[in-house]
Structure 1
Amino acid sequence: MELSGNRRQVTGIALVAVVVVAGVLLSPKFLIEQVKHVKQTPLLAGGLFLAVYLVRPMFAWPTTVVAVAVGYVYGPVVGFPAALCGTVMSAYLPFVAARYFRVDSGIFGRLGDSGERFFDTTGDLRGMIASRLFPVPSDAVSAAAGLSNVSDGSFLLGTAIGEVPWMVVAVLAGSSLDTLSLDGIEDNWMLIAAAALGGILLLAGPAYRAYTDDQ
């Protein structure tokens, strides 16, 4: 059993290394160039976006990048639900993978124990919503939740709620563009500050209770 756990950890670490390398070698600009070619064919664009959401975790592309492209093609009415559903589906893949590689020892075991303490304090749903509001890489949050044994329901619902402000801004930005570009999307400091503040407020109550319990 221990050997099997060690193999899973080695495989998981190798997978993380592959994702990092792939993210460096293949930038989101590749996606942007393809979207420009299919903008006038919504069905073809839908197939492209489905494929992109399925492989996105392998390249560590930010979810907002894809959402901007979705908004550019479909506009806000269709683009927002499409981007939100695609983001939740895409986030679920590293969550499931991390849960598979979760073991009781080694680096994944320590990360899982730390995550479990966090979610025990906040509750699975509240912790997931707050984690999504903070401006941290989506796939890192998904992996941490998988290692922490967060329930599927709390993960999916918390991800959907927490990603709403990011998707709204990204889709609206994409729908307003005449020429698809990502300039300024990830430097929107007002959105980053507001979302982070929301995450802090969600965690304030559980953090205070945990503090008073320790006194």
Structure 2
Amino acid sequence: MNRRFVLLGYVAAGAAVAVAAAAAWLASPAAALARLSLLAADPLRFGVALLALTAVRPFLAWPTTLLAVAVGFGYGWVGVPLGVALLVATALPPYLLARTGHVRARGAWRTADRLCDAGERLATATGGVRAVTATRLLPLPSDAVSVGAGASGIRPRQFLLGTAAGELPWVIVGVAVGVSLDRLAAGDLSAVDPTALVAMAGVGALLLAGPAYRTLRGEEPASTA
């Protein structure tokens, strides 16, 4: 009986992965933006569509900037707070999965333990909020940052605050792209000033440099945040 349930679990997991892969293949980010543009005349329906996109985005591995671009198109600059809220919400699923897995798998694999220990030391030296904020500013995949934060044992409140602070510049960049109807219709997510990306990455690196150096030297953190 137990083997049957295990087999059914594997089948269900495989089917879920297949469905997600098919959805990602059939509905590209550009196609999603094109569909959203059809709802722009109705702010309520547009908002509902944004919430749905926020919910499924982590499972399709789409860039989080897609949400900010859509918000900019539908609501303009006044939608920046909404964009931050959506990016925080869409970052939660991978964080929670990693955090749960971190608790359950602790001690199961030596390599995993070492990676978790390294992440925890850096988070302790940097401070949870500062660590998440800094890594969000770097040009790294958003879901990878969320998983790293969960595996490093960063507390939910720290994760939420750090994600909101670190994603704010990305939301502003995305909204700036989204306010252009032509770019949205073409599904263009690349019209971002490289100077802004370099500046954000520089700030993120500066926030991490000191604590990372002290962690490598094995020094005790002066304080935590």
TM-score by length of 2: 0.79
Corresponding residue for 2:210?
Answer: 205
CA displacement, residues 65-87 of structure 1 (integer Å, 9 cap, x when unaligned):
1210111011111x211111000
Q: Bigger shift: 102-111 or 52-61?
A: 102-111
Shift in alpha-carbon separation, 1:48–1:142, aligned structure 2, 3 A: same
Structure 1 segment 66-105 matched on structure 2, within 5 A: 66-77=67-78, 79-102=79-102, 103-104=105-106, 105=108
Match of 2:163 in 1: 159
1:55 correspondence with 2:56: yes
Match of residue 123, structure 1, among 127, 144, 156? 127
Percent identity, aligned pairs only, is 43
User: Could you say if the C-alpha distance between residues 87 and 184 of structure 1 is closer, same or farther in structure 2, counting changes exceeding 3 Å?
Assistant: closer
Alignment counterpart, residue 132 of structure 1, candidates 128, 133, 136 = 136
Could you list the runs of 5+ residues in structure 1 that have no partner in the other structure? 1-6
Answer with 190-199 or 28-37: which moved more.
28-37
Secondary structure at 2:38's aligned position in 1? helix
Helix, strand or coil: the match of 1:131? helix
- Equivalence for 2:223: none
Deviation string for 1:106-134 (max 9, x for gaps)?
A: 36545433321321221211111111000
1:168 aligns with 2:172: yes
The alpha-carbon deviation at position 23 of structure 1 amounts to 7.8
Amino acid at match of 1:101: G
Q: In structure 2, do the counterparts of structure 1 residues 156 and 179 end up closer, same or farther at CA, with 3 Å as the change threshold? A: same
Which of 112, 117, 123 aligns to 2:116? It is: 112
**Whose Rg is larger?**
2
1:194 aligns with 2:199: yes
Contact 1:91 1:142 in 2 (8 A): yes
In the superposition, relative to structure 1, how do residues 54 and 187 fare at CA in structure 2: closer, same or farther (>3 Å)? same
Amino acid at match of 2:85: C
CA contact (8 A) 2:177 2:191 kept: no
How many residues get paired? 202
Per the alignment, residue 4 of structure 1 pairs with: none
Query: TM-score, normalised on structure 1?
Result: 0.83
2: CA distance between counterparts of 1:65 and 1:151? 27
Structure 1 residues 186 and 132 mapped into 2: Cα distance closer, same or farther (>3 Å)? Answer: farther
1:29 corresponds to:
30
Q: Distance in 2 between matches of 1:47 and 1:132?
A: 26
